[in-house]
Structures are given as structure tokens and as C-alpha cells.
Amino acid sequence: MSSPPATVDGFVREFLVNLNLERGVALSSATETDKYLALASTVRDYLVARWLEDQRMQRADQSKAVCYLSAEYLLGRQLDNNLLASGLTEIATEALAACGIDIDTMRAHEVEPGLGNGGLGRLAACFIDSLATLSVPSIGYGIRYEYGIFRQVFRDGQQVEKPDAWLALGSPWEFRHPEAAQTVSFAGHTETYDDDGVLRSRWVPAWSVRAVPYNYMVPGYQNGRVNTLRLWSAEATKAFDLRTFNSGDYVEAVRAQTFAENISKVLYPEDSTPQGKELRLQQQYFFVAASIADYMSKVLPDDFDLATLPDRVIFQLNDTHPVIAVPEMMRVLVDERKLDWDAAWAITQKCFAYTCHTLLPEALEVWSVDLLGRLLPRHLEIIYRINDEFLLAVRERFGDDERRLRDMSIVSENPASVRMAYLATVAGAKVNGVAELHSQLLREKVLHDFDEMMPEKFTNVTNGVTPRRFMRLANPELSDLITAALGTGWLTDLERLRELESYAEDADFRAAFADVKAANKRRLNEVLLARDGFAIADDHLLDVMVKRLHEYKRQMLKVLHIVTLYERVVSGRVAASDLQPRTFIFGAKAAPGYAMAKRVIHLINAVGSVVNNDPRLEGRLKVVFPPNYNVTLAERVIPAADLSEQISLAGKEASGTGNMKFALNGALTIGTDDGANVEIRELVGDDNFFLFGMSEPEVEALWASGYRPGEFAQADDELRRSLDLISSGAFSGGDRSTFEPIVSNLLYDDRFMVLADYTAYIAAQERVDAAYADRDGWTRSAILNVARTGFFSSDRSIRDYIDRIWHAQPVR
């Protein structure tokens, strides 16, 4: 099969064929949706020949493949990315113009698939882009949620969640493959049986669903490679239970169908605490069981020697969500393929590797033995056996150290539960954290006993982001400026940005760089005006905090900064004219069940409406909080930012990836020594980064000595005034109760120690103001941020995974 001719005429022809034959409409009567869908089909047509060829090669090829198992992929819009990857952007723009269509309206028409919560899901999307760009044989496996991350709207300043019906207009980038469906079973019981003299166990499940795959193309950047993302959708095994239906009980028949389909109905909108437990475990098992069965049946020939499986595949576990794949692999090898336990375990231990993405204990998933036993009884048996054998090994190594045996046990008591991170650590060939500090803390704290026993398993791979989406597509003007300076090639070799260092000393380049930033602010304004009806002033420092709303990320510290500036002016201690004009942009979704996070959203909006409308500020401070922060909005906000807020409590943010995107787009960071901030600061230098706050050891020491937040409020007048102002009802129409829970939490509880870092944060913000007053100096620092952060390309992360964990090879 060959692709249509890569010319404007060829593209026009293909587009019209798709519009006429697939959509069944003429150009003159086509709606925007018709045109968008025909355009997407056209782009697909150009990619499909390569895709089929790559699939064929991957099947035929003996080289090792990476199966990336992730419950989330936060893909962002596809059209522009696929045009860029296939080198068709210009041709498509001209071809559409010839048909009287503006490509920007097509871009705007696309609904992004929000199949992830935040950083973890976006990282998975960056990684599959890099895997394709580096020509690594790989497949991404996940879930095709019918509803992605909820759409956030604000009502009276408070978050309201709306369903995200991203499939409503059709989904032109996917290919449904019912013929490749797998059956995934649940519940029931286990039994032993005599298999030709060998006593074996087997699982007799109670019910099953069909897992139907949808394939997405993942094109590499202009290298002709197209990998696959395979997302599973749950369907009832028989669409309608005919017998029940014929007997007249169609309600019951439909109920069965709904029950099955629920499994892939909705992305769990939780960032770091597992909830909705049973359905979530169903989702996890559903997609990993389907993926393993898919891989084993599609790729491996019938006579395959399973002992060599580790030479053919590595399953990368993206956080604990897919870890149930470990006992599933054991079940397949032992129960279905009839391997003995030791042989199966030796294979399994080489076929998995585990990435941990958190340090928060509540984000390390734990499943109750009761639930596991009900839903996956055979898997529970297998986990018990893995644990028994592991504890024997611990005993062999450390003797009867009861503390160690208790703390390292995969199955914990009271309440009886399975620690999935421990299971992954015991089973995985490698365990990695996602930034240097995070990996170090994993070894020293969260998984310390495991590190003592098997230090060779632990490694680090610092996260990265794809420069194709987050520089070339999000910031075309900066990309053009860089290309004018360095020539092409830097988008796939991001360390080349180093060559920009000398340009930081070139006044013309600095002026051009500043012009790009100004243009990006105008581009952001276009979006904000259209979307939310407001815009930011040109001369304001743009101070941005966009990420999930979580107490550990400390949006409250940012709020206290704003309230402090406001209080200084309204109390008359500072003249408004002495303020550095600033616009604060927030973007954040809170998990629907996370009350404190939702209160903070309410407070940000409330502070915004007071600050934005108080004439005493003379318009010098503005707070904007566009709802529904997503990848599409990130692509506009990040390139426009001057200041990137990365202010989590040290030791709590595993890595962050937003921090990298900002630095690569020339924003300066104000940040704590946390996650990948540490590496950003080391690379850009202290002069180009605003560091503040306690280090991780200081945090630990303060916590151990007994954190008394009230003492910090006593010691800092401005902090007390700001807290008092919030408590007084100044931002809640005089009602003192609305935000009282936030203030008392900060004063009496707060695990995330906002008040302890307040004074240092305010001082650092003053350094920001002073630095911004020298605009040319600021621009120099911004250029150095871009020049020195090429390390954070996800291509480099993938190379690190290849070298340190996968030992797979690119196949060109």
C-alpha cells in the first residue's frame, strides 16, 4: 500500500474524497465537524502505509520490544502533532486554503482526549512520542475511557465537574478492532485438579467482559516511523443476553451490558489517592490482562520458547496502577502455559520493570485482601506465594528480623492488604524514580529495606517532555528563532540548545527573544478572550501556577503572596504605584472528593474577584483562573509565562514536568529544592533561578521536632495580617466561616508546612521583582534557561530507560 502524493493537489484530492465518500457531504454544505473529520482521515491516510509496514516489521522482527503499561495517556490534540510528525503542515495549510478553509479553525475544532489526570498521563504521552521518534519497537497499552478527566466549570467561584464527552463528535484518530478482542474474566473461585499426575490450580471465573482494542497511530517526528497506542474498551461478552431479552426482561439484559461497559466508562479523577476501589481495580486488571493476552497471542509464535521471553519484551509498569500484571503473567505462565513456578517466576522477574511516581504514602496503592480475593481469587493466591517465597529470601539474608519481615511483607496485616509498590519492587527487574532527588528518597525512605536487600535494582530516570509538542507546536515563534540561530536538528537533539548560550550575550537576539515572549502573550490573550472573556495586560509580569490542585503543591503559598501584596496596598503601607504590575494565572483541577483542594479553588477565585475589582490597586495586580486547564491551554499559557511557580514542599513532588516545559520556553522558575527543580537549578545556575524554602532534610527535621505553624505566624507580621484578612471575610462578602477551614488548617495542622516557607517565599518574590525591573537582564536569564535545559527532552529520558532498564534497541 502506498501513501497519497505529498503535494498540495494530492492532499486536496484526498481530502475531498474523504469528505464526499466518508462523510457523504459536498464541500459547499460541509459543517466544521465534517471538514475536521475529513481532514483527520486525510492525515491518517498519509500515515497508514508506514504504520502497517511498522506493524508488520515489529511482528516479524526478533528484537526486544517495550510494552508500556499505563492507565493514563493525556494525549492532547492530535491533528497538529500528526501533521508536524508527517511533515505535512505546510501542504495541508495550503490545500485547505485552496478549499476555502482556515486550518486554525480546524485546529480549534478538535476536542482533546483527556485520558489522564495530570503529569503521569502526560509523561506517558511524551514517552510514546519519543519511543516513535527514536524508532524503538514499542506499543503503548491503556484504557479507552469513554469519559476522560472531567470538564471543570466554576459556579460562584467553586469547581463544578461536568462529564467530558470527548467522543461526541466522533474520534477520527482511532481504529476499532473487534476481531482482536480479548476476554477478561473476574471473580469466581479457584480449584485444584490432576493434570496428568501433576497437581495444578486453575481459576473458574464468574463473569467476563470483552476487551475491544482501539489502535491509535503514534508517528515519530519526521522519521517515517509509526508506532501504536492500543487502548481497550470494555463491552459485554454478548451484546444482549438474548435469552433474558426474549423472556421479556430487557431491563436486566441492558443492565448486564451497562455493567460491563462501566469498566472503561470513566477515568478515575484521582491524582494521588485511590478511591472507588472496586471499579478501579477492575479497570486495572481489565487493561493489563487484555494487554498481556494481546502481546502473547499476536507477537509470539505458537512454538515460542517462553524462557526467552525476556529477550523479546519488557513490560514497563507506569506507577502501581498496572502492577496486577505481575500475578497475571504468573497465572498465564503457570496455569495456562503449564510452566513450573520457578521457571515462570524467573521469566516474570525479567519481563517487568516499575516506575514509581510519588513519595506520598497515600498514593502508593494498597488493595484489600478481601477485595482482591473476591475479584481476582487466583491472583491473590499467586501474590501470597510470591510473598511467602520473598519473605523466605528476606529471612535467609537478614535472619529472624521481625521488624524487617513485617515491614517488607507484600501482604500487610491489620487491615489485611496487598502493597502494590512492594509487589512491583519484588517482581521488577528494575525500579526507578523520576528525578534524582526522588530516586534517592525512594531508596532512603519509601523502599529503604528493599534497597538494602537488592540495591542493584534501583535506578533513576529523570522525566522529560517532548520538544515537538511543547516547543515546536506550542511555541512556533521561539522555535523559528532557535532554528534561525542553530539551524535544524535541535528538535531531536535538544542538548544542542546549549549553543544558544552565546546568544544570550547578543543584544539583537535578546530583543528578538523578548519580542517572541510578547507575541506569545498576545497569542494567549486571543485564547483567553475567546474562551473566558478576559485578557492580560502587555506590561505585566506573567506569573503562572498551573498543575493539579493538591495541598503538597502549595497553591496556598501563592495565594498568601497575592493577599500579602494586596494587604500592603489597602493598609496604605505600600503605594500601588510601587508594585511591579503582575498577572497571576492559575490553572488547576481538584479531585471531586478532595474538599480542601476545592476550597482552595474557591478562595483563589474569591481573592481574584476582590483584587481585580479594587480600584486602590490601580490595575497593577490581576488574578486569572481560566477553568478547565488542559493540555491545549497549557500549550498557550506556558510559552507566554515569565515566571514559573514550582513551590511544593521539598520532598513531596516526585519530579514535575511542567517545571521543565516552562524553563524550555524561557520562563524563570521560583521554586523549592524539590523534584526535578533541583536538576533544573543545577543546570541553569543559581543566578537564573529563584530558590527559596526548606530543603528536604530541613523539612524532615522540623517535622520531627514538632511543627507548630502558629509560631511562624507569630514571627511574621505580614503573614499574620494576610491570614487575618482571609479570616475576616474580606474575600467572602464578610462571611468569616467560608474560608475558616483553610486558615485553621494552615495554623494548626498542615502537613505541607505552608507557613514555614512563607517568609522565604515572599523574600524570593521580592528578588523576582528586582530582577524583572532589569528587563534585558531577565531576558538574558530566560535565554540561558532555554539553552541549558535541553537535558529535559523525553528523548533523553527514553535513552536512559533503554540504557539503564530496557536494553532494547532502536530498529530503523
Task: Judge whether 448 counts as a catalytic residue.
Answer: no
Cβ nearer to ligand 9GP, comparing 118 with 608: 118
Q: Give yes or no for residue 635 binding ligand 9GP (CB under 6 A).
A: no
Contact 115, 142 (CB under 8 A): yes
Task: Judge whether 547 counts as a catalytic residue.
Answer: yes
Residues in the chain: 812
Both ends of the chain: CA-CA distance in Å? 20
Q: For ligand 9GP, which residue of 463, 555, 677, 793 counts as binding (CB under 6 A)?
A: 463
Q: Give yes or no for residue 363 binding ligand 9GP (CB under 6 A).
A: yes
Q: Give yes or no for residue 172 binding ligand 9GP (CB under 6 A).
A: no
Q: For ligand 9GP, which residue of 608, 675, 693, 790 counts as binding (CB under 6 A)?
A: 675
| Beta carbons within 10 angstroms of residue 247's beta carbon | 11
Element (H, E) at 541: strand 541-546
Q: For ligand 9GP, which residue of 58, 70, 171, 358 counts as binding (CB under 6 A)?
A: 358
**Cis-peptide into 172, omega within 30 deg:** no
CB of 637 to ligand 9GP, least distance (A): 18
CB of 683 to ligand 9GP, least distance (A): 17
Task: Judge whether 553 counts as a catalytic residue.
Answer: yes
C-alpha span between 287 and 264 (Å, rounded): 9
Q: How many residues bind ligand 9GP (CB under 6 A)?
A: 18
User: Residues 539-574, buried b or exposed e (16+ Cβ, 10 A)?
Assistant: ebbbbbbbbbbbbbbbbbbbbbbbbbbbbbbbeeee
Burial class (CB in 10 A: 0-12, 13-18, 19+), 279: middle
Q: For ligand 9GP, which residue of 80, 271, 679, 795 counts as binding (CB under 6 A)?
A: 271
CB of 162 to ligand 9GP, least distance (A): 22
Q: Say which of 548, 554, 620, 622 is annotated catalytic.
A: 548
C-alpha span between 717 and 573 (Å, rounded): 13
Cβ nearer to ligand 9GP, comparing 655 with 665: 655
Choose among 131, 143, 2, 3: nearest CA to 58: 131
CB of 722 to ligand 9GP, least distance (A): 28
What track of x and - describes contact with ligand 9GP for positions 642 through 671 (by CB under 6 A)? -----------xxxxx--------------
Enter the C-alpha cell of residue 771.
530582577
CB of 552 to ligand 9GP, least distance (A): 8
Q: Give yes or no for residue 554 binding ligand 9GP (CB under 6 A).
A: no
| Beta carbons within 10 angstroms of residue 322's beta carbon | 29
DSSP state of 505: G
Cβ nearer to ligand 9GP, comparing 273 with 502: 273
Q: Give yes or no for residue 434 binding ligand 9GP (CB under 6 A).
A: yes
C-alpha span between 699 and 684 (Å, rounded): 24
Angle (CA) 261-267-270 rounded to 5° is 140
Task: Judge whether 357 counts as a catalytic residue.
Answer: yes
Q: Give yes or no for residue 123 binding ligand 9GP (CB under 6 A).
A: yes
Task: Judge whether 133 counts as a catalytic residue.
Answer: no
Helices 507-532 and 631-640: crossing angle in degrees, nearest 10, is: 140
Element (H, E) at 201: strand 198-204
Site for ligand 9GP in 754-773 (CB under 6 A): none
Cβ nearer to ligand 9GP, comparing 498 with 799: 799
Q: Say which of 144, 357, 558, 681 is annotated catalytic.
A: 357
Q: Give yes or no for residue 65 binding ligand 9GP (CB under 6 A).
A: no
Q: Give yes or no for residue 128 binding ligand 9GP (CB under 6 A).
A: no
C-alpha span between 74 and 562 (Å, rounded): 31
Task: Judge whether 517 counts as a catalytic residue.
Answer: no
Bridge pairing between strands 182-186 and 207-219: antiparallel
Site for ligand 9GP in 295-354 (CB under 6 A): 319
- C-beta nearest to ligand 9GP: residue: 119
CB of 261 to ligand 9GP, least distance (A): 26
Query: Which positions are catalytic?
Result: 357, 547-548, 553, 657, 661
Q: Which residue ranges make up the site for ligand 9GP (CB under 6 A)?
A: 118-120, 123, 271-272, 319, 357-358, 363, 434, 463, 653-657, 675
